[in-house]
């Protein structure tokens, strides 16, 4: 049975379906979250004939976003989000139909890359998404010392400024700063101005025992050169202040990061700073001497990448190594990608062409997504997750795709 996916025509029903699937507290500001988060022409629904009457059987949405790639180009991508299937009709192929619909629409619109944050790791690999960036959650103590002798001079010219995220103009400043720096921080995903405004929208219900989100900007010569989003949480232990500063988005080049990191471990009444999403190669671990000098360090998946159009995507990024490998791509959800491609990289530039030559490597398209931002995929051969027909061919491909520094994590969307 084919499942029809169409544009949403009832924002209230779309929202109510999401509220059932995600079972959070329903607030008056949910509709505003929908309005700011998702353009009306990017909300899609499924209504199965025998599905629920008052709600949709399934919904998904797409945020128009931009992604910075190895080499510094910043390209439009589809940010897949608001994915949900009514509990009464789960495991009947609604998600699969929505994924096919999404990939077809992207392909028709010439969008070569789709990205997402996964609610569960088992869901999206089967639709060709690969885990493309890791993020670290790191807790460090008040007054932690950061040692970076060759950044001191540059960092000394940087000041910090604490403001409230919802104050006029603040999210526009955050976005402008991230847009300026994205090319230097591959893996960064920049949302629309509305998406940034959404971050500062915190209804009273969400703030019952919390302060509103703040932003700490790093500034040099009157210009924003970085920022962190943060919130302080009170805690008193045996009459001593021991609160936690929770730092979300962390944006900036190394000297700005150093200035910001020093400031967030020196906030009055706080005992711990928890950085929720820094990259696997963030300089912070080097500044403190390694993981053992953190209070806690955990690793999670951040961005998942799907090459909607292998041929177009391959030449969008640059490469730090050369390769010339014939890859048999397996792709069930986007059959136009399936088959043999000669993937080359030379002098930094990549080219992908169709070929009838024998395959050197056979892999699922998700593997190319996993390596697309520079995250290492070399271990997948040893793990038995790709097949190699010419000795050394997979290493050639994986080395060319890998970047010296791991990609930046992206903000949850
Ligand atoms: C996850 C969710 C969208 C799946 O929808 P669904 O309509 O039941 O999925 P489908 O019936 O189309 O399943 C497609 C395939 O994915 C698999 N799958 C679905 N959900 C899965 C999960 N959570 N973990 C692993 N595999 C899953 C199915 O087994 C099926 O596999 P098959 O092709 O080998 O048969 C749905 O369960 C849901 O809404 N969950 C809560 C919200 C959520 O997690 N959304 C994702 C946001 S990132």
pLDDT digits (tens, 9 = 90+) for 60-94: 999 999 999 999 999 999 999 999 999 999 999 99
Residue 357 lies in a domain: yes
Binned at pLDDT 50, 70 and 90, residue 407 comes out as very high
123, pLDDT greater than 80: yes
- Which residues neighbour 176 within 8 Å (Cβ) at sequence distance 6 or greater? 224
Residue 410 domain flag? no
Calculate how far, in angstroms, residue 1's C-alpha sits from the geometric centre of ligand 1.
Answer: 18
Write the secondary structure of 295-314 as one string of H (helix), E (strand) and C (coil). CEEEEEECCEEEECCHHHHH
Please, are residues 189 and 302 in contact by the beta-carbon 8 Å criterion?
Answer: no
194 & 211 share domain: yes
* Domain membership flag for residue 125: yes
241/270 Cα distance (integer angstroms): 6
Q: Which residue range(s) make up the domain with 347? A: 309-401
Which residue, among 353, 348, 344, has the nearest Cα to 318 in the 3D structure? 348
pLDDT of residue 209: 86
Residues 202 and 220 in one domain: yes
Looking at 281, 301, 321, the residue that finishes a domain is 301
| Residue where the block lists tokens 């910075």 | 68
CATH number at residue 154: 3.40.630.30
| Catalytic member of 44, 129, 372, 413 | 413
Cα-to-centroid distance, 98 and ligand 1 (Å): 11
**The total number of structural domains that make up the chain:** 3
169 and 294 share a domain? yes
Tell me: pLDDT of 174 over 80.
yes
Last residue of a domain, one of 273, 301, 329: 301
Q: Note whether 317 and 395 are same-domain residues.
A: yes
3-state secondary structure of 36: helix
Q: Is residue 408 in some structural domain? A: no
Identify whether the C-beta of residue 82 lies closer than 8 Å to the C-beta of residue 18. Answer: yes
Ligand 1 center to 123 CA (angstroms): 6
Contact assessment for residue 354 and residue 389, using Cβ atoms and an 8 Å cutoff: no
Q: Whose CA is nearest to atom 5 of ligand 1?
A: 95
Active site residue 227: no
Yes or no: say if 280 and 406 are a contact pair by the CB < 8 Å rule: yes
What is the pLDDT at residue 37? 82
State the pLDDT at residue 76.
98
CA-CA distance, 322 to 315, in Å (whole number)?
13
Shared-domain flag, residues 339 and 248:
no
Atom of ligand 1 at shortest distance to CA of 92? 11
Judge if 383 and 343 occupy the same domain: yes
Are both 150 and 100 inside the same structural domain? Answer: no
The answer on 128 and 143 residing in a single domain is no
* 235 found inside a domain: yes
CA of 109 to the centre of ligand 1 (A): 26
List of long-range contacts for 314-317, beta carbons under 8 Å, 24+ apart: 314/341, 314/343, 314/350, 314/351, 314/352, 315/349, 315/350, 315/351, 315/352, 316/69, 316/73, 316/75, 316/112, 316/113, 317/69, 317/70, 317/71, 317/73, 317/350, 317/372, 317/373
The 10s digit of each residue's pLDDT in 10-19 is 999 999 999 9
Residue 1 is predicted with a pLDDT of: 74
The yes-or-no verdict on residue 290 having pLDDT over 80 is yes
Last residue of a domain, one of 301, 329, 347: 301
Tokens of 305: 């990448």
CA 175 to chain centre: 15
In degrees, to the nearest 5, what angle opens at C-alpha 90 toward C-alphas 44 and 86?
Answer: 50
Which atom belonging to ligand 1 lies closest to the Cα atom of 80? 48
Same domain, 118 and 266: no
**Closest atom of ligand 1 relative to the 22 alpha carbon:** 42
Report the relative pairing of strands 189-190 and 113-116 from DSSP bridges. unpaired
pLDDT, average across residues 164-179: 98
Has this prediction a pTM greater than 0.85?
yes
- Inside any domain, residue 275: yes
Residue 240 covered by a domain: yes
Among 44, 124, 217, 372, the one annotated catalytic: 124
Residue 382: CATH number of its domain: 3.30.1050.10
- Band (pLDDT 50/70/90 cuts) for residue 204 is confident
Give the pLDDT band of residue 208 (cuts 50, 70, 90). confident
CA distance 142 to 192: 35
- For the chain, the maximum distance between any two Cα atoms, rounded to a whole number of angstroms, is 73
- Residues 70 and 158 both lie in one domain: no
Ligand 1 first shell, C-beta below 6 A: 21, 83-85, 90-96, 118-120, 122-123, 126
Q: What is the pLDDT of residue 278?
A: 97
For residue 25, tell me if it sits in a domain: yes
Q: Do residues 203 and 318 share a domain?
A: no
**300-312 residue pLDDT tens:** 999 999 999 999 9
Could you give the CA distance from residue 372 to residue 238 in angstroms, rounded to a whole number? Answer: 50
Buried b (16+ CB within 10 A) or exposed e, 328-356: bbbbebbeebebbbbbbbeeeebebeeee
How far apart are the C-alpha atoms of 138 and 47, rounded to whole Å? 43
Instruction: Name the nearest CA neighbour of 160 among 252, 91, 296, 32.
Output: 252
413 is catalytic: yes
CA distance 144 to 286: 13
CA of 91 to the centre of ligand 1 (A): 6
Q: Are residues 271 and 222 in the same domain?
A: yes
Q: Quick: pLDDT tens for 336-377.
A: 999 999 999 999 999 999 999 999 999 999 999 999 999 999
Phi/psi-derived region of residue 17, left when phi > 0, alpha when psi is between -120 and 50, beta in every other case: alpha
Is residue 327 a contact partner of residue 343, using CB atoms and an 8 Å limit?
yes
């Amino acid at each position: 049975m084919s499942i029809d996916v169409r544009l949403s025509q009832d924002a209230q029903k779309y929202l109510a379906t999401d509220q059932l699937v995600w079972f959070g507290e329903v607030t008056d500001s949910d509709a505003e979250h929908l309005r700011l988060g998702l353009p009306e022409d990017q909300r899609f629904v499924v209504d199965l004939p025998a599905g629920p009457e008052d709600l949709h059987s399934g919904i998904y949405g797409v945020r128009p976003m931009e992604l910075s790639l190895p080499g510094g180009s910043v390209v439009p991508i589809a940010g897949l989000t608001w994915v949900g299937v009514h509990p009464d009709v789960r495991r009947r192929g609604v998600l699969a139909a929505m994924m096919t619909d999404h990939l077809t629409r992207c392909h028709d619109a010439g969008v070569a890359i789709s990205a997402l944050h996964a609610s569960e790791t088992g869901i999206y690999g089967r639709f060709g998404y690969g885990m493309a960036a890791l993020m670290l959650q790191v807790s460090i103590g008040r007054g932690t010392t950061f040692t970076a002798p060759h950044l001191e001079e540059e960092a000394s010219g940087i000041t910090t400024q604490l403001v409230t995220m919802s104050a006029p103009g603040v999210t526009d400043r955050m976005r402008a700063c991230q847009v300026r720096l994205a090319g230097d921080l591959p893996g960064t995903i920049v949302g629309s101005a509305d998406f940034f405004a959404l971050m500062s929208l915190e209804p009273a219900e969400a703030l019952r025992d919390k302060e509103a989100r703040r932003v700490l900007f790093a500034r040099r010569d009157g210009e924003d050169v970085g920022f962190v989003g943060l919130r302080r949480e009170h805690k008193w232990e045996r009459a001593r202040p021991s609160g936690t500063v929770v730092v979300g988005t962390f944006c900036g080049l190394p000297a700005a990061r150093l200035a910001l990191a020093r400031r967030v471990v020196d906030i009055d009444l706080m005992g711990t700073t928890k950085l929720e999403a820094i990259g696997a190669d963030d300089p912070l671990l080097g500044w403190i001497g390694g993981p053992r000098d953190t209070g806690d360090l955990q690793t999670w998946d951040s961005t998942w990448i799907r090459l909607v159009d292998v041929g177009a995507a391959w030449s969008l990024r640059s490469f730090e190594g050369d390769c010339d490998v014939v890859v048999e791509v397996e792709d069930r959800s986007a059959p136009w990608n399936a088959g043999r491609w000669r993937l080359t990289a030379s002098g930094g530039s990549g080219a992908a062409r169709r070929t009838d030559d024998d395959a050197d490597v056979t892999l699922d398209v998700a593997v190319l997504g996993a390596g697309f931002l520079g995250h290492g995929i070399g271990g997948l051969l040893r793990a038995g997750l790709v097949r190699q027909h010419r000795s050394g061919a997979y290493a050639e491909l994986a080395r060319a795709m890998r970047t010296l520094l791991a990609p930046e994590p992206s903000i949850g969307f």
